[in-house]
Structure formats: structure tokens, C-alpha cells
Homo-oligomer: A and B are copies of this chain.
């Protein structure tokens, strides 16, 4: 920029004013500076700019698992919207581990991101603690953290799962296994409540044997499902609280020599793009990933532009039960 200024015979202040449009520049100098820039091939140094302005035009995006199609779908739309708005996105994964989460957020904070979009993992207190250091806008997605007053966009998990379980009950299922995500997350808790609600509403006892924790991972879910499948009184249906876990459930079913849906019905949270073309066609709760991403981006952009201190806003969206063929009507075999 020094070179540009020298070549155009002006001060750096004028060059800066022209580039940023922060002050009027005469047509004559506008021309001179423009060709100096072109001649030199000048590109402004973003780092120096950030140092001076305190803004990096970068948003940190923290998710649990980049391997989870739900997250990647959301990430794709967030990246799209934010890039269009002139922001870069720095993506980090926590692997569902609070320690890693703390580390990753620290890393982003060190790099002076302007804002943070987080799908929190695990323990709320850890998140609270690390976020205390940050006086930048934060929006929570997918999961929320009670202690943190931040914008958020979440699903009505409870209602969505309740609807799915209602559907299973409507098909005649009475013993419905439930593979839960981590109860350290709001999604884990919300979805489980939906399950309990539905049972209670149908006057069914909620047997604790039927609820297993799968921590949102395929492997854990496999083990959890296995425990369900060796029960003396087999459940006739299993609901899995997310997409990764349902694969584990299906593997367990296969390994036990059972078939879905003939022997056991299966349904899960989160949809797959291939769900209606590979058998069994899974009945799932589809999340509005597009809307989630758009709302999250919009919330953070709002905070970023208009520093007005409005109270945190929480956007709650609805899941959509997508009925396919992995659940069969069940008539209780005569027993007892």
C-alpha cells in the first residue's frame, strides 16, 4: 500500500479511503490510485487490517462431528450464506468431547473470530466457562445450554419424537426400545422426554430396561441395541435418537439374525438422502436443515451488524415425520 501510494503520488490515508470508501476521493486520484493498484498488483493485507480494526471477517463454526450428514448439511448452508455476506468460516469439530470443545473454541477466540456458531457438546458448565472469555456474538444451534443466554435455533425435539412414538404406538407397538443420545445435551434430553411423553400419554409403562444410551455414535448405539436385543422380552420396535446411531442399530439387528421390519420395526431421528432408495426404507424425522442454517446465519449477521443489545432470541423449528417402510403394524403375540 505504501508502494501504491508512492506510485500514485498520494498518501496511504487516501488509498485507504478509496479502498474502503470511507471518505470521498476526487475522480482524478481515484483514477491514479486505481491504475497504481493494477500496475503493482496490490492486495490489501487482511492481517494488518484485522490488527487495526479488531475484526477478522471470520466466523467460527463448531460442530460435534463432521462425519454426521446432519451437521454437514447445516454447515453447507451456513457457509453459503456467510460467504455471500463477506465472511469466511472456520470450521472445527469437537468429536462430542467437552475438552476438545474448549480447546477448539479457545483456538477460534485466539484467532479473533468475529462471531461463533456452536452446536455444543457435553457439559454445559465447560461451555459456559470458555464462553465467558468471549464478548462476541454467539449463536447456538441444534443444542442449547441452559446457563448461556445466547441466540439459538433448535428443534422441538420433544414434540417430534413424541409424534414418531405415537405413530409406533398407533401401529400396535407396546414395547418400544429407545437408543438415546448423551443426556448431557439438550437434544438428548428433549428427545427422551418425547419418548416418555408418548408412552405416558398412551398409558404405557416406561420400562427403564428399554432405554439405552448410545451417545450419538454408531459404535455405542450398536452396543446399546445389542443389550436391547438380548432381553428375554424383545422390543417390537426401536427408535434411535439420531442418524449415526440408527446404523449401529441396524447392524445389531442384522448381527442378531433379525430382519427389519419383519421382526422388528425401526425409526430414527434425522433423515438420509438415500433413505427412500435403500431397504429397509427408514421412517425418520427429517430436520429442516436449510432453515436451521439460514436462521443461524441470520442471527449472527444481525448481531454483527447491529450492535443493539436485544435480548437473546430462540428460534424453535419443527421436525417432519417421514413415514416409509421400516415400521410394520404389530399385533401382540399371545403371551402370558
Interface of A with B (CB < 8 Å)? 43-48, 50-51, 56, 58, 66-67, 69, 72-73, 75-76, 79, 83, 88-93, 104, 107-108, 110-112, 218, 247, 250-251, 254, 273-274, 277-280
Chain B residues within 8 Å of A93, by CB: 76, 79
Known: A72-B67, A112-B46. A89 touches B88 (CB 8 A): no
Contact of A250 among B92, B107, B218, B278 (CB under 8 A): B278
Other than the given A66-B76, A76-B93, 14 more pairs (CB < 8 A) read: A46-B111, A46-B112, A47-B47, A58-B111, A67-B76, A69-B69, A72-B72, A79-B92, A79-B93, A83-B104, A90-B90, A250-B278, A274-B278, A278-B278
The distance from the CB of A76 to the nearest CB of chain B, in whole angstroms, is 5
Cα–Cα distance between A92 and B80 once the two chains are bound (Å): 10
Choose from B46, B76, B83, B112 the contact partner of A110 (Cβ within 8 Å). B46
What is the distance, in angstroms, from A290's C-beta to the closest C-beta of chain B?
Answer: 12
Find out whether the CB atom of A112 lies under 8 angstroms from the CB atom of B75. no
CB contacts (< 8 Å) of A107 on chain B: these are 83, 88
| Sample (8) of A-B pairs whose CB atoms are under 8 Å apart | A46-B112, A66-B79, A76-B93, A88-B107, A88-B108, A89-B91, A89-B92, A250-B277
**How far is it, in angstroms, between the C-alpha of A110 and the C-alpha of B83 when the chains are bound?**
14
Q: Are A250 and B279 in contact (CB under 8 A)?
A: no
Taken together as a complex, chains A and B put the C-alpha atoms of A160 and B292 apart, in Å, by: 39
User: Measured between alpha carbons, how far is A9 from B317 in the docked complex, in Å?
Assistant: 56
Residues of B within 8 A of A44 (CB): 110
B73 touches A67 (CB 8 A): yes
